[in-house]
Amino acid sequence: MDEYDYILKILLIGSSGVGKSSILSSYVEQSFDEQTIQTIGVDFKLITREYRNQKFKLQIWDTAGHERFRTITNSYYRGTDAVILVFDLTRENTFEEVEYWLKEITENAADNIIIHLVGNKNDLPKKVKKESIAKLVLNSQIPYIETSAKNNFNLDILFDDIIEQLYRTKITEGDYLPHHADSHKISLLGKSVSNKKRLNRVCC
Ligand code: GTP
Ligand code: MG
């Protein structure tokens, strides 16, 4: 039986071609393709990880980075616990567009959302300047990590960091209840009570 203690919804966002779908396949299925198809809608994959003797089921949503499909993805922020904002270390414009994505997070996600910034394709020669990244990280205080979907580099660390942060900031504060707790107040996606309040405020 597929048992777990907590279910966490994680959203991958960022400009087209930065490697969101590749990160997901590499992390969940240990597979990588040099040629991928542009994502046009949204899709998710599930993976269960153990942390502090608890089983965390991660529901990781992959969104479309291309402008034409972006509006479709806005509703997918609902109930999201953590966002992974990806840019491509080899394409400066994808780093410049991080500002756009941060604004989108502010407009669509709950205030207590956890954000991680990812510079992907670190197996290739980098074009984005270290100083620019350092400045952004310092100003925004968002945790940053470099990854390679191709080499499955730092992906475990990235997702473990997210689980750790969710555990520290939400679960230990009693904002979440275990999946198997005898209560129907818990949403399937592990939405916290405060998230629900915020969502109500947005929608009504
Ligand atoms: P959209 O679906 O359009 O938003 O793009 P995406 O962010 O999902 O990018 P995708 O995963 O489709 O990757 C785009 C291209 O980059 C593909 O050719 C991948 O093989 C390549 N790629 C992704 N990650 C890496 C990486 O870490 N290293 C290298 N060398 N190539 C990568
Ligand atoms: Mg994709």
Assess whether the C-beta atom of 38 lies below 6 angstroms from ligand 1. yes
- The model's pLDDT over 66-111, given as tens digits with 9 standing for 90+, comes to 988 776 566 788 889 999 999 999 999 999 999 999 999 998 888 8
Q: Which two tokens stand for residue 8?
A: 């966490």
Within a 13 Å sphere around the CA of 154, how many CA atoms are in the beta-carbon half? Answer: 14
Order of strands across the sheet that contains 43-51: 43-51, 54-62, 6-14, 82-88, 114-120, 144-146
Residue 89, SS3? coil
Which atom of ligand 1 lies at the shortest distance from residue 63's CA? 4
- Ligand 1 center from residue 38 Cα (angstroms): 9
> What angle (nearest 5°) sits at the alpha carbon of residue 37, between those of residues 31 and 43?
75
Question: Residue 104: how many CB atoms within 10 A of its CB?
Answer: 17
Record the pTM.
Answer: 0.87
Assess whether the C-beta atom of 122 lies below 6 angstroms from ligand 1. no
